Structure 1
Amino acid sequence: MRAFVLSCFMLLVAAPATAKEQPPDLTPVHLGVGGQAVIYNLPLTVALEQGYFRDEGLDVKVIDFTGGGKAAQALVADAVQVVSGAYEHTLRLQARGQALQAFVLASESPQLAMGISTRTLANYSSIADLRGKTIGISAPGSSTQMLANRVLAQGGLSTEDVAFATVGTGATAVQAMLSGKIHALVNAEPLISLLEQQQAIRLIADARTPAGTAALFGGPMPANTLYAKSTYIQNNPQTVQALTNAMLKALTWLHDATDAEVADLVPTPYLMGDAELYRQAFRNIQPSLSVNGRFPAEGARNALQALQSFDPAMAQRQINLQATWTNQFVDQATQP
């Protein structure tokens, strides 16, 4: 009898410990992205492949769109809760009455480049030669269109002087350039390196590095971020903190990673059949990756000025820059 009672007591003592050891329910997050395979979204891919989101108690389900503009639209429509995409969308959508806020910065440069076709614009000499031509972008309202607009404005052209074609960020964009459907293209890595390798494009603007970004925008340009509706951030601070923690782990890993380690980590289709090409593409953009996830106030001002330089609607709006970004969660993650 004594042995039975002792056995029951041990079971009762052990029960709470067993329950405590059970993994907690993972918090679901629907995250939109415009072209998950492009290197622009590499920090997100690293966080997923390394299990950093799961380590933070999150179940992140990625919904891939053709471009950043589409992902932003999905956020406004509540089809996703968070977006991995360009900071500028928080500015554009505030001008339309939507309160969005970016809470961790992944890259300090747009990681985009603009090239002209060596086939259809072989005699290109200046931006003026783009008048009446078609420029390929990933999607309307995306950062690729923003960069194209910036280049046009610097060359004295407006968006009315050209046509834009939506070509996405993958094989469709390559085919559009090689077939002559478009005369110029703004896109991300590794697609830019692929077209350069094939001598299909000649770059006329390069914002893949901080130096190239400063030449085009006058200084740092916050680019890839995680952003969400301000109400979501206010109502789900623990989830946002967990997302931030995971992305900072990914940025730390990328800061120390070799190009070979990156190529080995990403899903095979991302390599576009050429691991060495992908490695080169990563080397091209690695200097633009944020080392601490923090937003520079100067960068936010540069982003707004860039938009206002070619978008009359933005120029006429009063934008509260401070409301579009926060370092609160990065600061919390890095506290000793």
Structure 2
Amino acid sequence: MTPRFRMLRHIAVASGLLFSLASQHAIAADGEKITIMVGGITKLIYLPARLTEQLGYFKDEGLDVELLSQPAGVDAENELLAGAVQAVVGFYDHTIDLQTKGKDVKAIVVFGQVPGEVEMVSTKAAETVKSMADVKGKTLGVTGLGSSTSFLTQYLAGQHGIPSTQYTMLPVGADASFIAAIKQGRIDAGMTTEPTVSALQKSGDAKVLVDMRTVEGTKAALGGTYPGSSLYVQAAWADSHKAEAAKLAHAFVRTMQFINTHSAEEIAAKMPDDYQKDKPLYVSALKASLPMFTKDGKMPSDGPETVLKVLSAFNPSVKGKHIELAKTYTNEFTGSK
């Protein structure tokens, strides 16, 4: 091997190594991990989070996404504000509440055009609690104090002239802990979602008192559509990570289209087995939940006003305050890749 050839070979190897390192650095820069906190990942209202991962849509966008679960949305919100996570899958109403506290947070994809929440009354209390007009002196379960379930509970009771001082709200979480609270008689009624609703109906431990899984039921209870589950981020993050925000939104919009073009059975087949230990029950719960989801991830036109009306009715941090609703959500990212 001539000295000249040896020198050229070394240059080629060195160049290749530098190119490889540069490429790896570019991938690392572009593939920065996005951590999303979900306010109870097994709840069907938050189905799009895990389903997007299962369908491979995050990877299709070149995103490295980690999903974490926090049973109450208010705790997920705190993780976002602390900078521990980049996004939250939780209720849109948190963005309004946070604006009054000087925090600029906005929903960039809307999953639920309605809350998907159901007020369940225990079978033991069903004789005395026939509507929200009967909750005086009762103990009502919510996922967490300051959570969306507590907002809605207070509004529904308030519609019947019953202030929150006349009943007790007990934070009982979701899923198994909610079911245990009903079975043990620690709560007379409570607000929860699928698949917990179907599980309680199947076991006979509770009955539906107020159903907000459909547009019709939600309009009857709240007077309009009430955007619930959504993907929200700090506005500063959306402004400084427009490419990532657009990719995230695009992945989720694909999932919303998948949900709206497939049956409950087909959707369930994509979900992990540990989400559906009782598969027939899970499919039944999913069928009951499908009407809640948006088709395109965009905010319903009357949604923000309805949510503001509900929060303004009782929430002291919102009541009487000027809220710039346009800053609490954007459809900017759902229309483009």
Contact 1:27 1:239 in 2 (8 A): no
Of residues 131-140 and 87-96 in structure 1, the stretch that sits farther from structure 2 once superposed is 131-140
Of residues 313-322 and 85-94 in structure 1, the stretch that sits farther from structure 2 once superposed is 313-322
Runs of 4+ in structure 1 deviating by more than 6 angstroms, as ranges, are 18-23
1:141 aligns with 2:140: no
1:215-265, CA deviations, whole angstroms, 9 ceiling, x for partnerless residues?
Answer: 112111111111111111111111101110110111111111221122222
- 1:107-126 matches, within 5 Å, as 107-126=112-131
Contact 1:24 1:57 in 2 (8 A): no
Does the residue aligned with 1:276 lie in a helix, a strand or coil? helix
- Aligned residue for 2:208? 203
1:241 aligns with 2:246: yes
Structure 2 distance, partners of 1:86, 1:125, is 27
- 1:23-42 matches, within 5 Å, as 24-25=27-28, 26-42=31-47
1:216 to 221, 225, 246: 221
1:19-41, CA deviations, whole angstroms, 9 ceiling, x for partnerless residues?
Answer: 69989442211111110011011
Cα 1:76/1:21, change in 2 over 3 Å: closer
Question: Following TM superposition, by how much is the alpha carbon of 1:123 offset from its aligned partner in structure 2, in angstroms?
Answer: 3.0
- Aligned residue for 1:285? 289
- Aligned residue for 1:308? 312
- 1:1-336 matches, within 5 Å, as 24-25=27-28, 26-271=31-276, 273-333=277-337
Cα 1:98/1:21, change in 2 over 3 Å: closer
Structure 1 distance, partners of 2:125, 2:115, is 26
Question: Following TM superposition, by how much is the alpha carbon of 1:330 offset from its aligned partner in structure 2, in angstroms?
Answer: 1.1
Structure 2 distance, partners of 1:159, 1:119, is 22
1:97-121, CA deviations, whole angstroms, 9 ceiling, x for partnerless residues?
Answer: 1110111111101011001111134
Q: What code does the residue aligned with 1:314 have?
A: V
Cα 1:128/1:209, change in 2 over 3 Å: closer
Structure 1 distance, partners of 2:225, 2:132, is 23
Structure 1 distance, partners of 2:126, 2:226, is 29
Q: What code does the residue aligned with 2:297 have?
A: G
Structure 1 distance, partners of 2:142, 2:290, is 23
- Which consecutive unaligned segments of at least 5 residues does structure 1 have? none
Q: What code does the residue aligned with 2:320 have?
A: Q
Contact 1:112 1:188 in 2 (8 A): yes
Q: What code does the residue aligned with 1:298 have?
A: D
Structure 2 distance, partners of 1:65, 1:193, is 22
Question: Following TM superposition, by how much is the alpha carbon of 1:291 offset from its aligned partner in structure 2, in angstroms?
Answer: 0.5
Instruction: Normalising by structure 1, report the TM-score.
Output: 0.91
Structure 2 distance, partners of 1:124, 1:232, is 45
Question: Following TM superposition, by how much is the alpha carbon of 1:293 offset from its aligned partner in structure 2, in angstroms?
Answer: 1.1
- Which consecutive unaligned segments of at least 5 residues does structure 2 have? none
Identity between Structure 1 and Structure 2 (%): 30
Question: Following TM superposition, by how much is the alpha carbon of 1:62 offset from its aligned partner in structure 2, in angstroms?
Answer: 1.6
1:2-58, CA deviations, whole angstroms, 9 ceiling, x for partnerless residues?
Answer: xx99xx8xx99xx79x96998944221111111001101101111111111121111
Of residues 176-185 and 193-202 in structure 1, the stretch that sits farther from structure 2 once superposed is 193-202
Question: Following TM superposition, by how much is the alpha carbon of 1:186 offset from its aligned partner in structure 2, in angstroms?
Answer: 0.2
Instruction: Normalising by structure 2, report the TM-score.
Output: 0.90
RMSD over equivalenced CA pairs, Å: 2.3
Contact 2:126 2:207 in 1 (8 A): no
Question: Following TM superposition, by how much is the alpha carbon of 1:61 offset from its aligned partner in structure 2, in angstroms?
Answer: 1.3
Structure 1 distance, partners of 2:222, 2:230, is 18
Contact 2:250 2:336 in 1 (8 A): no
